[in-house]
Structure 1
Amino acid sequence: MKKLFAIVFAMVCVFSFSGCQKTPSSTETETSNKTIIGYIAELNNETVSFDEIEWVTVPGERATELGITDDDAANGFYIHNEESVTTEYDIADKCVVCILDWKFETQQIEFVNFIEIFEQTGNALIPYILTIENGNVINIEEHYIP
Structure 2
Amino acid sequence: MLSKKAQYALKATGYLATRFNGGPVQISEISERKKIPLKFLENILLELRKAGVLESKKGKGGGYYLLESPEKVSLAKIIRIVDGPISMLPCVSLHFYKKCADCEEDVCKINQVFIETRDATIGVLEHKTLNDIIEGVAKK
Higher helix share: 2
Please indicate the TM-score interval, normalised by the length of the shorter structure: under 0.3
> Taking structure 2 as the reference length, what is the TM-score of the superposition?
0.22
> Bigger radius of gyration, 1 or 2?
1
Higher strand share: 1
